[in-house]
Chain A
Amino acid sequence: EAGVTQFPSHSVIEKGQTVTLRCDPISGHDNLYWYRRVMGKEIKFLLHFVKESKQDESGMPNNRFLAERTGGTYSTLKVQPAELEDSGVYFCASSLAGPGKDGYTFGSGTRLTVV
């Protein structure tokens, strides 16, 4: 089966610009998650979709971040306007059930650099 696909793999943008990251989960996985790792820090949870609904968005850092999952398939994470502290690696993951069953399948991540 195809894994979780993220693109772009790398993005370099200037402060104040907008960037949109995309995640294609494993087909049939209703649960989709976004995580990120900023330089030198832990990987942190951002939000969780169940189909097209936001189940938990407690990790979203501020209102410059907007995540969508129209139709319950792929998801996008938009950062507008980007700030220097947004630089890091953004991971997407998907799962059929909760983490206690099979863990999550992660994508390779998008490395975002804001200059």
Chain B
Amino acid sequence: AQSVTQLDSHVSVSEGTPVLLRCNYSSSYSPSLFWYVQHPNKGLQLLLKYTSAATLVKGINGFEAEFKKSETSFHLTKPSAHMSDAAEYFCVVSDPRAGSYQLTFGKGTKLSVIP
């Protein structure tokens, strides 16, 4: 079975400072990992994905994440937060080789950006 743990339910940063949203996963296979973002009253938007290629993945809006198999982590980072980054972020795991196309979501991390 696969699972995802987002270690922080809320993160607050000042505009212009780095962002770190933490995610640990559990999977019986070699998973695909994703980060999605949901802005208020909007749908879920794919930020980036890891699918067994490069371990450092770059996404949209300056975000990136590093897959660390030894630590079973996939933390999301951004060097400098912008006000528009305030949203809820979801770490997601999937492994179709387990026989399912299901995505397993973490509980989400709400990011607040202080001016």
Q: Is A bound to B?
A: yes
Once the chains are docked, how many angstroms separate the CA of A101 from the CA of B11?
30
Q: Which of A3, A93, A100, A104 has most chain B Cβ within 10 Å?
A: A100
Which one, B42, B49, B102, contacts A59 given CB within 8 A? B102
Chain B residues touching A, range: 20 to 34
A99 contacts B43, CB within 8 Å?
A: no
Which chain B residues (37-64) contact chain A, with CB distance < 8 Å?
41-46, 49, 51
Tell yes or no: B103 within 8 A of A by CB.
yes
Measured between beta carbons, the chain B residues less than 8 angstroms from A107 are 43
Given contacts A100-B51, A103-B49, contact A109 B43 (CB under 8 A): yes
The proximity string for A residues 39-65 relative to B, scoring 1 for CB distances below 8 Å and 0 otherwise, is: 001111100100000011011000000
Query: Shortest 6 CB-CB distances between A and B: which pairs?
Result: A106-B44, A108-B43, A99-B94, A43-B105, A100-B32, A98-B96
